[in-house]
């Protein structure tokens, strides 16, 4: 598998080039195909990992299309992996705001007040998006990303782990 | 210079100290000493001057100024930069601003009065003029954010130790950082952190300590739960002296934690804490748990053993001791 950042870099490189298509064949029968079409440059990137053969890929819709194919028919866990990757596929291009510590997640400064942010709100790097509290230390978490809050992944009062994603952000 | 003069006058207590002795100690002329004495008088200090005997402090306005704090301060960095105000909404607000503008570690913000003193979850904290310590301390620890909650227990230790040293009053700690005398609250602590996921920018330790209030000075709804050092002890206490001692304790325990880890702080906390071994109710935003407070983890997280023998980790909750009726 390529890392998200590596793929992003390749997409950028392709965008800035006159090439229409970029295909990389790697080890373990990994194949990465990036294609440009005239229609839309801003369409969402889709990531897919399955055992399908290369012939199918022409039917994949939005462009630029990204496919990563890995043939692993002999791997019994491949079916499970497939669904897992697919379910995450839609969010792979989104930024995450993660929790810096174990603690309780609060969406608002106090129970009487409204939440810091709602789905659809635009945030800046220094916008406070929530509080994570552990042992009465209140951590007012800053977004560190400019963009739009696409999804809030935890509920008010929930215990969160170190590094757990709290928000999905569409970077602007 | 004025802080050193104050220190000399405070040290000599109820006896006179000659102008010559002061001028020797400070390395300034006797005329200069006189000028500084006059300045202090203008600020509300009453200083007796008797020919051939010298000077004696009759009355200090018990104000919380940089000079007054400095007169007692025995620290390297803590409290060496002071932002003092007559009135603020909350000392946390200017402290947060100062922290964003690169104020050095140990900087404090103090005020005679807070109009909107606040605790955890925006709860109001009553902080009337001239009666207590309303203070925020800026820290810039080098450890990662997930270690920062340990500062909660350290803060409780530092304030409890500072108050014990100055007043000899038996201050107890209730998990994680409530400070009690005879089961009533004498202080409120609010710790806020500016951080990104991997780095602490600043920790703003806010605390309010009830010092010279009378029982009727507290709002009715908290009278049964709140107390002051003056109520619990004997007479009025000097606020600057208390602050200086708290800062000294804070600096000591803080740098010890940076060098040796959380262990020594945790041991001291356990020695001062009254929660462990008691049957408690822990109220979190989601659920209420009852059981025996077994102890704390190496990070300070409370371990609660429920009736069915299960150990729950408590990260944040309001703790109430279960009383036998």
Mind listing the domains of chain B with CATH numbers?
1-59 (1.10.10.10), 66-272 (3.30.930.10), 278-321 (2.30.30.100)
The conformation of residue B324, written as its DSSP 8-state character, comes to P
Confidence of residue A55 (pLDDT cuts 50, 70, 90): very low
pLDDT score of A93: 82
pLDDT score of A49: 42
| B146 with A102: Cβ contact below 8 A | yes
Confidence check: pLDDT of B90 > 90: yes
Confidence of residue B268 (pLDDT cuts 50, 70, 90): very high
pLDDT in tens, A125-157: 889 999 999 988 999 998 889 999 999 999 999
Contact between A73 and A138 (Cβ < 8 Å)? no
ipTM: 0.82
Q: Would an 8 Å CB–CB cutoff place B275 in contact with chain A?
A: no
Domain ranges of chain A: 4-78, 94-171
Residues in chain A whose Cβ is within 8 Å of chain B:
97-104, 106, 109-113, 133-142, 144, 156-159, 162-163
pLDDT score of A28: 58
pLDDT score of B142: 94
Confidence of residue A90 (pLDDT cuts 50, 70, 90): low
Contact between A133 and A106 (Cβ < 8 Å)? yes
pLDDT score of B87: 94
Cβ neighbour number for residue B123 with a 10 Å cutoff: 12
What topology does CATH give the domain A94-171?
Answer: OB fold (Dihydrolipoamide Acetyltransferase, E2P) (2.40.50)
Average pLDDT for chain A: 72
pLDDT score of A60: 42
- Residue whose tokens read 């404090």: B108
Confidence of residue A111 (pLDDT cuts 50, 70, 90): confident
pLDDT in tens, B92-107: 999 999 999 999 999 9
Q: What is the DSSP string of chain A?
A: ---HHHHHHHHHHHHTSS-SEEEEE-STTEEEEEE--SS-SSSPP-----S--GGGGGG--SSSEEEEEE--TT-TTHHHHHHHHHHHHTTTTSEEEE-SSSEEEESSSSTTSPPS--TT-EE-TT-EEEEEEETTEEEEEE--S-EEEEEE-S-TT-EE-TT-EEEEEEE-
Mean pLDDT check: name the lowest of A22-36, B141-155, B247-261: A22-36
Is B25 annotated to bind ligand?
no
User: How many beta-carbon contacts under 8 Å exist across A and B?
Assistant: 96
From A104, which residue of chain B is nearest by alpha-carbon distance?
B316
- Residue whose tokens read 């209730």: B174
Which carries the bigger pLDDT value, residue B31 or residue A72?
Answer: B31
pLDDT score of A35: 72
Average pLDDT for chain B: 92
- In chain B, residues with a C-beta closer than 8 Å to the C-beta of A134 are 148-149, 301, 315-316
Range with the largest mean pLDDT of A58-62, B155-159, B216-220, B312-316? B155-159
| A137 with B120: Cβ contact below 8 A | no
| A135 with B152: Cβ contact below 8 A | yes
Distance (Å) of CA A21 to CA A10, A89, B16: 11, 21, 93
Can the peptide bond before residue B9 be classed as cis, meaning omega within 30 degrees of 0?
Answer: no
Confidence check: pLDDT of B61 > 60: yes
Confidence check: pLDDT of A9 > 50: yes
C-alpha–C-alpha distance, residues B80 and B138, integer Å: 12
Is B185 annotated to bind ligand?
yes
Q: What is the DSSP string of B95-136?
A: HHHHHHTTPPTT-EEEEEEESS-B-GGG-B----TTTSEEEE
């Amino acid at each position: 598998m390529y890392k998200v950042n590596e793929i992003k870099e390749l997409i950028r490189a392709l965008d800035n080039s006159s090439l229409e298509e970029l295909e990389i064949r790697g080890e373990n029968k990994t194949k990465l195909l990036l294609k440009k079409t005239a229609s839309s440059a801003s369409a969402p990137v889709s990531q897919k990992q399955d055992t399908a053969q290369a012939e199918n890929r022409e039917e994949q819709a939005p462009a630029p299309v990204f496919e990563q194919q890995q043939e692993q028919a002999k791997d019994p866990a491949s079916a499970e992996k497939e669904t897992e990757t697919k379910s995450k596929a839609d969010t792979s291009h989104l930024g995450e705001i993660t929790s810096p510590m174990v603690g309780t997640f609060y969406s608002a400064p106090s129970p009487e007040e409204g939440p810091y942010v709602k789905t659809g709100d635009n945030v800046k790097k220094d916008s406070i998006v929530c509080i994570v509290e552990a042992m009465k230390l209140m951590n007012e978490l800053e977004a560190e990303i400019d963009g739009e809050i696409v999804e809030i992944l935890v509920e008010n009062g929930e215990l969160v782990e170190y590094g757990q994603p709290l928000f999905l952000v569409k970077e602007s | 210079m004025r802080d050193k003069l104050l220190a000399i006058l405070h040290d000599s207590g109820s006896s006179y100290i000659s102008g010559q002795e002061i001028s020797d100690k400070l390395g300034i002329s006797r005329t200069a000493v006189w000028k500084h004495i006059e300045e202090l008088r203008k600020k509300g200090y009453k200083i007796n001057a008797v020919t051939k005997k010298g000077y004696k402090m009759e009355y200090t306005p018990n104000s919380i100024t940089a000079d007054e704090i400095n007169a007692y301060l025995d620290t390297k960095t803590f409290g060496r930069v002071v932002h003092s105000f007559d009135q603020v909404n909350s000392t946390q607000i200017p402290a947060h601003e100062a922290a964003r503008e690169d104020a050095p570690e140990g900087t404090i913000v103090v005020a005679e009065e807070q109009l909107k003193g606040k605790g955890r979850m925006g709860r109001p904290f009553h902080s009337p003029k001239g009666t207590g310590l309303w203070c925020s301390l800026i820290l810039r620890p080098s450890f990662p954010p997930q270690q920062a909650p340990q500062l909660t227990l350290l803060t409780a230790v530092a304030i409890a130790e500072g108050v014990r040293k100055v007043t000899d009053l038996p201050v107890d700690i209730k998990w994680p950082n409530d400070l009690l005398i005879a089961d009533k609250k004498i202080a409120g602590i609010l710790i806020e952190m500016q951080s990104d996921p991997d780095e602490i920018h600043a920790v703003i330790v806010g605390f309010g300590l009830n010092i010279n209030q009378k029982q009727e000075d507290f709002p009715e709804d908290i009278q049964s739960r709140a107390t002051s050092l003056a109520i619990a002890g004997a007479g009025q206490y000097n606020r600057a002296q208390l602050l200086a001692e708290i800062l000294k304790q804070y600096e000591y325990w803080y740098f010890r934690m940076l060098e040796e880890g959380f262990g020594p702080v945790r041991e001291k906390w356990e020695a001062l804490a009254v929660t462990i071994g008691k049957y408690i109710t822990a109220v979190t935003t989601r659920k209420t748990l009852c059981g025996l407070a077994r102890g704390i983890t190496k990070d300070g997280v409370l371990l609660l053993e429920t009736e069915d023998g299960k150990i729950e980790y408590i990260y944040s909750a309001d703790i109430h001791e279960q009383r036998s009726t």
